[in-house]
């Protein structure tokens, strides 16, 4: 009987020692959270293993997540999954559809992101137009006039010269019959008579020389030889003039005025304000179905493909291991303990009971040896 009691006691002692030892070992993984001191001497095994090696744990966990859990290949396969792709497409279609049917004005949508949009658009248009117009003028100035007009333009100008000559002659004839022209002609005749005829001028001063000269001048103006001569002369001058480069016609002030005038006229006529104050749906009404049903799925597919092609680079630049490491390091030790225990509570309890079982078995063996 004493032997059985001794064996029982040894079993109880062994089980208690094994269970308590494992229980304390598990607790010592986390506790104490901070190092303990007796005076200036730190007590061994403080803090617990996990708090003590927390930085190593965080670094190791970050590397493990990147190497075995959030791998580029795994992320790529997940994003290329038909279900995920379909979900992203439907989400994008829903959002784009809502945006295209919005009654909000374009101004109200872009104003938070781009304040004073109208003023800035006009200023940008002014700047760009000045730049481009200055470049165009600089290029044009290096060219000959005939190069700028082209052969067709030159022919059109040549064809207009007879009409110009005809108009000039008609206007000249009208001028000589006008009061102003008659006075000018009378002055010319009187001056000629005084200079060339001298004393004879007194005998002919009562004669109306203007009425005698004017018909002759008009006959000359109406003559075909005059038209032909003037046409030939103007054509020849035009041909000579067309050989000049455009920069001979423009100086800096004229060029600046030309640029200012064109830009001012164009910019002030741009209906930027009207365009910004229209609702989004007025722009998208005719293309809504095409955008939602065709462009959005293609766009989503293209984005996913491009994104997955660059997955390794993206994940490398995101530095997920550092993110995990920083997040683990930022966790409170007690909260970290709670997380681990919530995952492995049953396993830790099993380890405790396994320690008690092994201790009890050792106690049994010791008891049997003791009574033999």
Residue 46 in this model has a pLDDT that exceeds 80 = no
User: Among 270-279, 306-315, 322-331, where is mean pLDDT lowest?
Assistant: 322-331
Q: Give the per-residue pLDDT at 91.
A: 92
Cis, bond preceding 70 (omega within 30 deg of 0): no
Could you tell me the pTM of the whole model? 0.50
What does the pLDDT look like over 100-109, one tens digit per residue?
888 888 888 8
Residue 42 in this model has a pLDDT that exceeds 80 = no
Residue 6 in this model has a pLDDT that exceeds 80 = no
Instruction: Please give the share of the chain, as a percent, with pLDDT higher than 70.
Output: 89
What does the pLDDT look like over 50-69, one tens digit per residue?
777 777 777 887 787 777 77
* More confident call, 55 vs 135: 135
Residue 260 in this model has a pLDDT that exceeds 50 = yes
Mean pLDDT of 107-133: 89
CB contact at 8 A, 48 and 28: yes
Q: Give the per-residue pLDDT at 66.
A: 75
Q: Give the per-residue pLDDT at 372.
A: 63
Structural element, H or E, at residue 42:
strand 41-42
Mean pLDDT of 93-121: 87
* More confident call, 144 vs 38: 144
Q: Is 290 helix (H, G, I), strand (E, B) or coil?
A: helix
User: Among 30-34, 85-89, 139-143, 195-199, where is mean pLDDT lowest?
Assistant: 195-199
Structural element, H or E, at residue 65:
none
Residue 11 in this model has a pLDDT that exceeds 70 = yes
Confidence at 33, pLDDT banded by 50, 70, 90: low
Confidence at 123, pLDDT banded by 50, 70, 90: very high
* More confident call, 220 vs 29: 220
DSSP string for 292-358: IIIIHHHHHHHHHHHHHHTHHHHHHHHTHHHHHHHHHHHS-HHHHHHHHHHHHHHHHHHHHHHHHHH
Domain ranges of the chain: 2-87+307-371, 144-244
Q: Give the per-residue pLDDT at 355.
A: 78
């Amino acid at each position: 009987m004493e032997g059985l009691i001794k064996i029982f006691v040894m079993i109880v002692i062994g089980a208690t020692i094994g269970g308590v030892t494992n229980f304390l070992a598990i607790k010592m993984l986390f506790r104490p959270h901070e190092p303990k001191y007796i005076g200036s001497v730190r007590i061994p095994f403080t803090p617990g293993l996990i708090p003590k090696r927390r930085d190593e744990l965080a670094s190791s966990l970050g590397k493990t997540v990147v190497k075995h859990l959030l791998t580029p290949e795994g992320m790529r396969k997940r994003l290329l999954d038909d279900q995920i792709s379909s979900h992203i497409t439907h989400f994008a279609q829903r959002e784009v559809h809502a945006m295209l049917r919005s009654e909000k004005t374009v101004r109200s949508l872009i104003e938070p992101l781009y304040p004073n949009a109208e003023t800035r658009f006009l200023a940008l248009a002014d700047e760009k137009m000045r730049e481009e117009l200055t470049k165009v003028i600089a290029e044009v100035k290096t060219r000959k006039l005939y190069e700028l007009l082209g052969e067709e333009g030159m022919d059109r100008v040549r064809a207009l010269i007879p009409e110009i000559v005809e108009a000039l002659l008609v206007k000249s004839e009208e001028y000589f019959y006008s009061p102003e022209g008659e006075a000018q002609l009378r002055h010319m005749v009187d001056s000629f008579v005084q200079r060339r005829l001298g004393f004879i001028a007194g005998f002919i001063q009562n004669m109306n020389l203007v009425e005698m000269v004017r018909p002759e001048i008009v006959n000359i103006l109406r003559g075909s030889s005059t038209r032909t001569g003037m046409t030939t002369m103007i054509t020849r001058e035009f041909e000579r003039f067309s050989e000049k480069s455009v920069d001979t016609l423009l100086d800096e002030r004229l060029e600046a005025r030309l640029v200012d005038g064109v830009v001012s006229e164009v910019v002030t006529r741009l209906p930027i304000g009207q365009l910004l104050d229209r609702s989004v749906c007025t722009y998208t009404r005719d293309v809504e179905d095409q955008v939602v049903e065709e462009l959005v799925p293609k766009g989503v597919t293209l984005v996913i493909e491009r994104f997955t092609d660059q997955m390794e680079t993206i994940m490398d630049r995101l530095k997920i291991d550092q993110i995990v490491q920083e997040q683990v390091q930022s966790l409170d030790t007690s909260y970290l303990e709670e997380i681990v225990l919530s995952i492995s509570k049953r396993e830790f309890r099993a380890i405790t009971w396994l320690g008690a079982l092994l201790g009890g078995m050792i106690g049994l063996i010791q008891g049997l040896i003791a009574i033999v």
